[in-house]
Amino acid sequence: MRNCYFENRRRYGARRIQKALGKNGINVGRQKIRRLMTEEGLKAIQPKAFNPKTTDSKGVNAAPNLLAQIKFEECASGKIIIGDITYIRLRGGKFCYLAMWQDKVTRRIIGWSLSLEMTAELVILALQKAVRKDLIKAGAIVHSDRGSQYASNGFRLLLQQSGFRQSMSGKGNCYDNAQAESFFSRFKAELIEGGVFEDLEQARSEIFSYIEGYYNRVRLHSSQVTFEFGV
């Protein structure tokens, strides 16, 4: 239990530890794990409670919200992709911006990009990475908020050329894209823990290690763990 906790850098609570141990043939009750963690003072890193927000840029010709029309057969890997942008603090009060695309079903981050500027190119580069990896199926729904980056001609041309369907959150509806915001909340809690990166290159290196080396390959996601409450 202790090894699992520290190997995952304090990111696992009792539920994920139980699941991870079970995958290695060690069957132990969740309550026992909780008790042992309490006795040893082990507590999983928790993201701060967040209120979902939505970007609704003025003058944007918004795409319809296709998530409200999803059929059961579309709920498969590579069929529904969600994206968002967040800011990352750098030393000296500066910021950089992270755009990501996540498979709604597997929760894998299939494409991401980091830049000092929050431009349309940021989300285009992130989606191009996912396309090159062949992780999005033809006709997939690509969902985001109503930010101007997603309404740009360049981004919409990429969607058209790739055969994807664009979807945007409903006007003022912050819950349509809550899964993407939830990822960023946990990402910042588990990787940054209230700190800052020295510069863009350090941020890029640490983010690569977290997403490609840990989140996509090692971390158990909520789709893999049965939850009652919390972590």
- My answer on whether 91 and 187 are in the same domain is yes
**DSSP element (H, E) containing 82:** strand 80-89
In a domain, 48, yes or no: no
- My answer on whether 33 and 71 are in the same domain is no
Q: What pTM was estimated for this model as a whole?
A: 0.71
| Total number of domains in the chain | 2
> What amino acid is encoded at 214 in this protein?
Y
Domain that holds residue 14: 2-39
In a domain, 113, yes or no: yes
- My answer on whether 145 and 35 are in the same domain is no
Q: Output the domain CATH number for residue 136.
A: 3.30.420.10
In a domain, 51, yes or no: no
In a domain, 224, yes or no: no
- My answer on whether 201 and 90 are in the same domain is yes
Q: Is residue 89 within 8 Å of residue 111, measured between CB atoms?
A: no
- My answer on whether 140 and 190 are in the same domain is yes
Long-range CB pairs of 60-63 (<8 Å, 24+ gap) are 60/146, 60/147, 60/148, 60/151, 61/151, 62/146, 62/151, 62/168, 62/171, 63/151, 63/166, 63/167, 63/168
| Per-position b or e across 85-98, b if 16+ CB within 10 A of its CB | bbebbbeeeeebbb
pLDDT score of 147: 93
In a domain, 179, yes or no: yes
- My answer on whether 19 and 92 are in the same domain is no
In a domain, 165, yes or no: yes
- My answer on whether 70 and 150 are in the same domain is yes
- Quick: pLDDT tens for 44-58: 766 555 455 555 555
Query: 6: helix, coil or strand?
Result: helix
pLDDT score of 139: 94
- My answer on whether 162 and 206 are in the same domain is yes
pLDDT score of 117: 96
Q: Is residue 113 within 8 Å of residue 132, measured between CB atoms?
A: no
* Lowest model confidence (mean pLDDT) among 33-47, 67-81, 104-118: 33-47
- Quick: pLDDT tens for 112-168: 999 999 999 999 999 999 999 999 999 999 999 999 999 999 999 999 999 999 999
In a domain, 228, yes or no: no
Closest alpha carbon to 46 in 16, 7, 10: 10
Is the pLDDT assigned to residue 6 strictly greater than 80? no
**How far is it, in rounded angstroms, from Cα 81 to Cα 214?**
20
pLDDT score of 1: 79
In a domain, 221, yes or no: no
The whole-number average pLDDT for the span 69-82 is: 81
pLDDT score of 225: 44
- My answer on whether 28 and 91 are in the same domain is no
Confidence of residue 226 (pLDDT cuts 50, 70, 90): very low
